[in-house]
């Protein structure tokens, strides 16, 4: 059995047998595909191995299907007899051959390995034996159950070579092209899906079963290969190198943390190894309790990997405490702390000894790999935030202050990356995204210069116009008169979600507020029609029932130029540190109004201390609140970020949909990759609607600007 004890004196692995035709099911098994065929094929063979093990107790046996592993002493004996390992090997071959199992031996598929032992007594027909006529080269590494065992350097080289081979098809992914509606229309979407869902997951198996020291080079290569492939798809070359580097660092964050789920194999390999090893040790120690006290290479590596996770958690919590100390009090009296990715307060990594102690069965839950990776993800977000802050500090020409920090914080809010979970599904309208639109979404999310604006802006610069990074990032186009598109798209998707659920106990209909025909007279008439719900302001969405409930939808950009600093009024410049710090505070004042804080003689409100004067004022829904109607402000940002109120509304609808009295009319996608729950489906739909509207505005702006520049003056 390989891997125990720490340095096997000698080991033989073999997958050397093939079945001959016969009439006995215990010998020949069933046909391929028949239920139980594998069991019938190998069950009698395993019984024979058990007999051989009982007669050779100084050699450890292990078998996995038709692969057999033997571990024992291989050194030549003083009396010239066959060493135990090779004696057991011959015994196993003899028992497994005719007539017991009707098997043929295949010595070329046998592997022989010993780190330092004398193999001169090995049978001459085993490759790697000094006496082999054609292949006497000593083996430095052998394969066992898909993993590699041997000299550390040789194993590391073998793992890296394997990863290089498995990731070589990435070059074909990069050549995938959109060649028209008849063949494929979303090549770029498929490219990144192949990188994220296939290529990025290939190395995980070896990261889990090989020691971290053996996967260092392989993990670095995997990170480089997948990031280079993604960079080509994302067109990072269209941006300055420093901006492209920051974008790729953010791309390697989780989707919920502002990234696009590119892998970080090298940074997470310790957590993956520790999680995988802990998950398997329970069953191994349950079967062989003596292994709990064996000091093997795996045990030592597990201890180091586990300790690194413990240290990382302690360092991450210390960094979180610094951010938690940075607070702001908004003018409505609510208190907010600087944003960071969340690690639950009760989250702890117990001592490794406690994890291994008291294992009572092979199904006992161990500390999951996902929990360990959560710590790595939190650390990665903090590093990306520091990089964004440093980039902003070194970018004095930026039109929007703290622009990249605002982008990262906004993209880290729930909902912002939900469109990433919406894979191409023809049964879901809008899920198959064209190349230009998909590229716009990714580049906006990662803070890259927009490829769709390159041609018109380069032409404008050649004509003498001043073109800034504000233009190339698309902020100038989106900060203009085009913001209504994102607002309407998001509101329509939110209305669809709210109207998809009904409750027989509380019947009612969900309506969109009618703003009239666009003329001043039409707007006045519309206000009169909705005065029963809220006099003076037309609500965006109304749930009509015994008690009307109104939703006010706001979709704003976090990249506001200038903005108020506070001092008694809402701030619109705190988005680089606080969630919705550029948008929600001012919207709360506009929608709900403010209650008076302090006395008239006090200085203006200080948002850091919560002391000072705030003057009372009515909001747009003052009449509805006086009537006792429900009002809920729903704030979204053009990054797709959804405020806690939006998440609350969606989760409330999801609960109603799951109740016996609820009815859900949502049309879910038929693809296995499409979200199938109410919350995840509509969260992705709202996020995708906002992203699509923003992309459409950018594409239209680019085409219009290019046309204008080509017209004769």
Each domain of the chain, given as residue ranges in start order, spans: 11-150, 167-327+363-396, 435-709
Phi, psi of 566, deg, nearest 5: 110, -125
Is the bond leading into 99 cis (omega within 30 degrees of zero)? Answer: yes
Q: Are 549 and 543 in contact (CB under 8 A)?
A: yes
- Residue 549 CA to residue 632 CA, distance in Å, equals 8
Q: How confident is the model at residue 494 (pLDDT cuts 50, 70, 90)?
A: very high
pLDDT of residue 31: 46
Question: Taking the CB of residue 184, how many other CB atoms lie within 10 A of it?
Answer: 15
- Residue 438 CA to residue 172 CA, distance in Å, equals 20
pLDDT of residue 19: 33
Residue 637: enclosing H or E segment and its boundaries? strand 630-637
Share of the chain above pLDDT 70, in %: 87
pLDDT tens-digit profile of 463-488? 889 999 999 999 988 875 557 888 89
Q: Average per-residue pLDDT in the chain?
A: 84
pLDDT at 644 over 90: yes
C-alpha 133 chain-centroid distance: 52
Q: Which two tokens stand for residue 435?
A: 């190349």
pLDDT at 314 over 70: yes
- Residue 174 CA to residue 537 CA, distance in Å, equals 52
Q: Which two tokens stand for residue 69?
A: 């592993």
- Residue 518 CA to residue 516 CA, distance in Å, equals 6
Report helix, strand or coil for 612: coil
Share of the chain above pLDDT 90, in %: 39
Angstrom CA distances, 356 to 307, 365, 375, stand at: 14, 11, 21
pLDDT tens-digit profile of 226-247? 999 999 999 999 999 999 999 9
* Residue from 477, 410, 413 nearest 440 by CA: 477
What is the mean pLDDT of the segment spanning 284-289?
A: 72
- What is the full DSSP assignment across 426-457? TTSTT-S--HHHHHHHHHHHHTPPPGGGHHHH
**Structure-derived torsion over alpha carbons of residues 76, 78, 82, 84, reported in degrees to the nearest 10:** -80
Q: Which two tokens stand for residue 622?
A: 């003052």
pLDDT of residue 278: 83
- What is the full DSSP assignment across 266-331? HHHHHHHHHHHHHHHHHHHHHH-GGGGG---HHHHHHHHHHHHHHHHHHHHHHHHHHHHT-EEE-T
> What is the gyration radius of the CA atoms in the chain, in angstroms?
32
Lookup result for tokens 């032409």: 459
- What is the full DSSP assignment across 178-234? --BTTTBS-HHHHHHHHHHHTGGGTTHHHHHHS-GGGSHHHHHHHHHHHHHHHHHHH
pTM of the model: 0.87
Q: Which two tokens stand for residue 565?
A: 């600093």
Q: How confident is the model at residue 184 (pLDDT cuts 50, 70, 90)?
A: low
Q: Are 695 and 440 in contact (CB under 8 A)?
A: yes
- Residue 680 CA to residue 675 CA, distance in Å, equals 6
- Per the document, the length of the chain is 713
pLDDT tens-digit profile of 89-148? 888 888 776 556 666 666 667 888 888 888 888 888 888 888 888 888 888 888 887 888
pLDDT tens-digit profile of 653-701? 999 999 998 898 998 888 888 888 999 999 999 999 999 999 999 999 9
Question: Taking the CB of residue 109, how many other CB atoms lie within 10 A of it?
Answer: 14
Q: Are 413 and 342 in contact (CB under 8 A)?
A: no
| Conformational region of residue 324, where left means phi above 0, alpha means psi within -120 to 50, and beta covers everything else | alpha
pLDDT at 61 over 90: no
pLDDT of residue 39: 65
What is the mean pLDDT of the segment spanning 295-306?
A: 83
Q: State which fold the 11-150 domain adopts.
A: Alpha-Beta Plaits (3.30.70)
pLDDT tens-digit profile of 591-632? 999 888 888 878 888 888 888 888 888 999 999 999 999 999
pLDDT tens-digit profile of 378-429? 999 999 999 999 999 999 888 888 999 999 999 999 999 888 888 888 888 8
What is the mean pLDDT of the segment spanning 245-261?
A: 93
Question: Taking the CB of residue 667, how many other CB atoms lie within 10 A of it?
Answer: 12
Q: How confident is the model at residue 6 (pLDDT cuts 50, 70, 90)?
A: very low
As a whole number of Å, the end-to-end CA separation of the chain is 83
Report helix, strand or coil for 67: strand
pLDDT at 30 over 60: no
pLDDT higher at 172 or 317: 317
Any bridge partners for residue 335, and if so which?
Answer: 329
- Residue 568 CA to residue 546 CA, distance in Å, equals 38
What is the mean pLDDT of the segment spanning 550-561?
A: 91
Any bridge partners for residue 184, and if so which?
Answer: 180
- Residue 644 CA to residue 579 CA, distance in Å, equals 10
pLDDT tens-digit profile of 428-446? 888 888 888 889 999 999 9
- Residue 513 CA to residue 100 CA, distance in Å, equals 82
């Amino acid at each position: 059995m390989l891997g125990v004890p720490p340095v096997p004196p000698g080991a033989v692995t073999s997958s050397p047998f093939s079945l001959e035709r016969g009439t006995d099911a215990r010998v020949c098994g069933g046909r391929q595909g028949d239920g139980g065929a594998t069991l019938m094929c190998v069950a009698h063979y395993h019984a024979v191995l058990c007999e051989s093990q009982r007669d050779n107790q100084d050699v450890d046996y292990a078998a996995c299907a038709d692969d057999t592993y033997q571990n024992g002493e291989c050194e030549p004996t003083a009396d010239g007899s066959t060493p135990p390992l090779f004696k057991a090997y011959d015994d196993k071959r003899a028992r497994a051959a005719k007539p017991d199992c009707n098997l043929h031996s295949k010595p070329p598929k046998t592997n022989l390995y010993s780190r330092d032992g004398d193999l001169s007594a090995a049978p001459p027909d085993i490759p790697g034996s000094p006496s082999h006529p054609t292949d006497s080269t000593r083996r430095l590494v052998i394969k066992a159950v898909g993993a590699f065992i041997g000299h550390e350097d040789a194993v590391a080289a073998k793992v890296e070579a394997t990863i290089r081979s498995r990731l070589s098809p990435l070059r074909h992914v990069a050549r995938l092209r959109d060649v028209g509606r008849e063949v494929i229309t979303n090549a770029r979407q498929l490219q990144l899906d192949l990188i994220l869902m296939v290529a990025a997951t290939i190395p995980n198996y070896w990261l889990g079963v090989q020691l971290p020291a053996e996967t260092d080079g392989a993990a670095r290569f995997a990170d480089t290969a997948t990031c280079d492939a993604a960079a080509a798809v994302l067109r990072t070359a269209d941006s300055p190198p420093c901006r492209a580097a920051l974008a790729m660092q953010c791309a390697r964050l989780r989707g919920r943390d502002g990234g696009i789920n590119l892998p970080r194999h090298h940074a997470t390999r310790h957590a993956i190894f520790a999680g995988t090893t802990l998950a398997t040790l329970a069953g191994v120690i349950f079967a062989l309790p003596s292994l709990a006290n064996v000091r093997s290479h795996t045990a030592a590596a597990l201890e180091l990997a586990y300790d690194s996770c413990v240290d990382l958690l302690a360092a991450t919590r210390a960094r979180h405490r610094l951010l938690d100390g940075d607070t702001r009090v908004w003018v409505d009296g609510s208190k907010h702390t600087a944003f960071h990715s969340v690690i639950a307060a009760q989250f702890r990594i117990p001592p490794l000894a406690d994890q291994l102690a008291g294992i009572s069965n092979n199904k006992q839950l161990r500390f999951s790999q996902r929990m360990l990776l959560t710590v790595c993800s939190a650390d990665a977000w903090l590093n990306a935030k520091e990089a964004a802050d440093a980039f902003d500090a070194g970018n004095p020409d930026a039109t929007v202050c703290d622009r990249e920090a605002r982008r990262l914080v906004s993209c880290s809010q729930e909902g912002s990356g939900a469109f990433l979970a919406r894979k191409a599904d023809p049964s879901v309208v809008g899920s198959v995204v064209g190349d230009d639109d998909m590229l716009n979404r990714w580049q906006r999310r990662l803070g890259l210069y927009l490829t769709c604006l390159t041609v018109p802006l380069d032409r404008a610069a050649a004509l003498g116009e001043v073109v800034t990074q504000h233009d190339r990032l698309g902020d100038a186009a989106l900060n203009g008169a085009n913001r209504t598109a994102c607002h309407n798209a998001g509101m329509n998707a939110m209305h669809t979600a709210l109207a998809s659920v009904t409750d027989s106990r509380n019947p009612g209909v969900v309506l969109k507020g009618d703003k009239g025909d666009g003329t001043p007279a039409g707007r006045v008439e519309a206000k009169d029609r909705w005065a029963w719900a809220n006099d003076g302001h037309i609500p965006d969405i109304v749930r009509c029932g015994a008690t009307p409930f109104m939703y006010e939808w706001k979709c704003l950009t976090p990249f506001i130029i200038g903005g108020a600093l506070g001092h008694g009024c809402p701030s619109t410049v705190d988005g680089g540190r606080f969630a919705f710090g550029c948008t929600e505070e001012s919207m709360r004042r506009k929608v709900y109004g403010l209650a008076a804080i302090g006395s008239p003689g006090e200085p203006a409100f200080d948002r850091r201390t919560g002391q000072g004067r705030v003057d009372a004022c009515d909001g747009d829904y003052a009449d509805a609140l006086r009537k006792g109607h429900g009002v809920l402000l729903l704030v979204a940002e053009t990054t797709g970020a959804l405020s806690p109120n939006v998440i609350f509304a969606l989760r409330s609808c999801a609960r109603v949909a799951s109740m016996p009295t609820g009815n859900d009319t949502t049309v879910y996608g038929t693809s296995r990759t499409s979200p199938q729950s109410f919350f995840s489906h509509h969260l992705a739909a709202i996020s995708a609607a906002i992203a699509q509207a923003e992309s459409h505005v950018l594409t239209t702006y680019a085409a219009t600007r290019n046309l204008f520049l080509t017209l004769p003056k």
